[in-house]
A and B are shown apart, each in its own frame.
Chain A
């Protein structure tokens, strides 16, 4: 077996070799530490080999440099950051951050939404009590008119047993709105229902519906616009989203830094 002999490089070759040696610094540290010397030697051998013309060698080495740099850096990134333990830990932390953020949104959202029912609970209770004591629906209505589409004020409506409105403090676009029959059915069975009602697009109401007995049996509905509450809930959502993104960013940076400082280290091979 004949192996090419090591020859003294001519001046242009020495310059080319120095340039190649500089380019080897672009490789990842571990790879460079292990292979820079034999790679430089292989390049020197190729320069010294008359069978390899410069015209073909230089473009080949440049192409190889670009391709292998991409490959070795990809391999280094994979070895450093795609270790199963690291990825698993990162994913677990990301799931925890997501659950925490959902809780950060979900708990205040429920508190705000349930709190939006408070005046209606009292209003519907008072109206139902008056009707059961024999006061006529018209007389039992609180004073003042409420435009349901635009006002934030609570309002009450009285319905008969069939769900037909018989007296109302508020109107929507000039008429008295009626909730779906299922709401009355539920209130009939359970005494009370507290649905979120959308009588038309752009109008969402927090309502409390009670069954009424006595002289004027039927139902009373107390409602209030959810506009303000929805804005607060949206604000909570925005804050939870920012917190989630911040936590994910922190986990990414922390995991990346941990992966970098605990990356596999190569020892120089002789």
Chain B
């Protein structure tokens, strides 16, 4: 890890789902001109709830509590983009990217190990 202040993995399901949602948004939105503006709270909740986002049910309280702690840890930041003063937009920081990549590597290694042991049936996802 690049910084000693980075939170330890494994990440909580809520934090992982938020990082995944923001990373996905960045991938899809990075093709546009200028810096990506981020995602607002409800969109993150919606992404997390979808099967591809981890199937995590995030309520507003859990979402914003997690976002506050993630901002404190330097994983995400509030973007300056705003289409409504009541909406906040969030995006990944450099540290957030690195922590997310580390967690993905950890999960990937675990899944590969499970697959080599025959614990994941053929045709299973990933």
User: Which residues does A use to contact B, with CB under 8 Å?
Assistant: 1, 3-4, 6, 27, 31, 34-35, 37-43, 45-46, 49, 51, 60-61, 63-65, 67-69, 71-72, 75, 269-270
Residues 63 to 85 of chain B near chain A (Cβ within 8 Å): 63-65, 68-69, 78, 84-85
**A60 contact set on B, CB distance < 8 A:** 57, 59
B29 within 8 A of A: yes
Known contacts: A42-B41, A45-B42, A269-B78. The answer to whether A67 contacts B62 by CB under 8 A is yes
Do A4 and B86 have beta carbons less than 8 Å apart? Answer: no
**B63 contact set on A, CB distance < 8 A:** 39, 42
Q: A43 CB to closest chain B CB, in angstroms? A: 6
Question: Which 5 residue pairs spanning A and B have beta carbons closest together?
Answer: A64-B59, A68-B61, A45-B42, A39-B60, A41-B86
B98 within 8 A of A: no
Interface of A is mostly: helix
Do A41 and B61 have beta carbons less than 8 Å apart? Answer: no
Do A270 and B65 have beta carbons less than 8 Å apart? Answer: no
Do B43 and A3 have beta carbons less than 8 Å apart? Answer: yes
B28 within 8 A of A: yes
B25 within 8 A of A: yes
Do B78 and A61 have beta carbons less than 8 Å apart? Answer: no
Closest Cβ neighbor of A68 among chain B residues: B61
The complex places the Cα of A35 from the Cα of B86 at a distance, in Å, of 9
**A51 contact set on B, CB distance < 8 A:** 46
The complex places the Cα of A37 from the Cα of B60 at a distance, in Å, of 11
Q: How many residues of B contact A (CB 8 A)?
A: 27
**B42 contact set on A, CB distance < 8 A:** 4, 41-42, 45-46, 49
B17 within 8 A of A: no
Q: B119 CB to closest chain A CB, in angstroms? A: 32
Do B59 and A63 have beta carbons less than 8 Å apart? Answer: yes
User: Which residues does B use to contact A, with CB under 8 Å?
Assistant: 25, 28-29, 39-43, 45-46, 57-65, 68-69, 78, 84-88
**A39 contact set on B, CB distance < 8 A:** 41, 60-61, 63-64
Q: B44 CB to closest chain A CB, in angstroms? A: 9
The complex places the Cα of A22 from the Cα of B87 at a distance, in Å, of 19
Q: Choose among A27, A38, A65 the residue that contacts B41 (Cβ–Cβ < 8 A).
A: A38
The complex places the Cα of A46 from the Cα of B28 at a distance, in Å, of 23
Do B57 and A42 have beta carbons less than 8 Å apart? Answer: no
**B59 contact set on A, CB distance < 8 A:** 60-61, 63-65, 67-68
Closest Cβ neighbor of B67 among chain A residues: A35
Q: A180 CB to closest chain B CB, in angstroms? A: 62
Q: A235 CB to closest chain B CB, in angstroms? A: 53
**B65 contact set on A, CB distance < 8 A:** 31, 68, 71-72, 75
**A49 contact set on B, CB distance < 8 A:** 42, 46
Closest Cβ neighbor of A30 among chain B residues: B68
**A46 contact set on B, CB distance < 8 A:** 42, 45
**A4 contact set on B, CB distance < 8 A:** 42-43, 46
Known contacts: A49-B46, A68-B65, A72-B65. The answer to whether A42 contacts B25 by CB under 8 A is no
The complex places the Cα of A42 from the Cα of B39 at a distance, in Å, of 12
The complex places the Cα of A65 from the Cα of B61 at a distance, in Å, of 6
Do B61 and A72 have beta carbons less than 8 Å apart? Answer: yes
Do A41 and B84 have beta carbons less than 8 Å apart? Answer: yes
Do B68 and A37 have beta carbons less than 8 Å apart? Answer: no
Q: B72 CB to closest chain A CB, in angstroms? A: 10
Closest Cβ neighbor of B25 among chain A residues: A1
The complex places the Cα of A60 from the Cα of B63 at a distance, in Å, of 13
Closest Cβ neighbor of A266 among chain B residues: B68
**B46 contact set on A, CB distance < 8 A:** 4, 49, 51
Do A40 and B86 have beta carbons less than 8 Å apart? Answer: yes
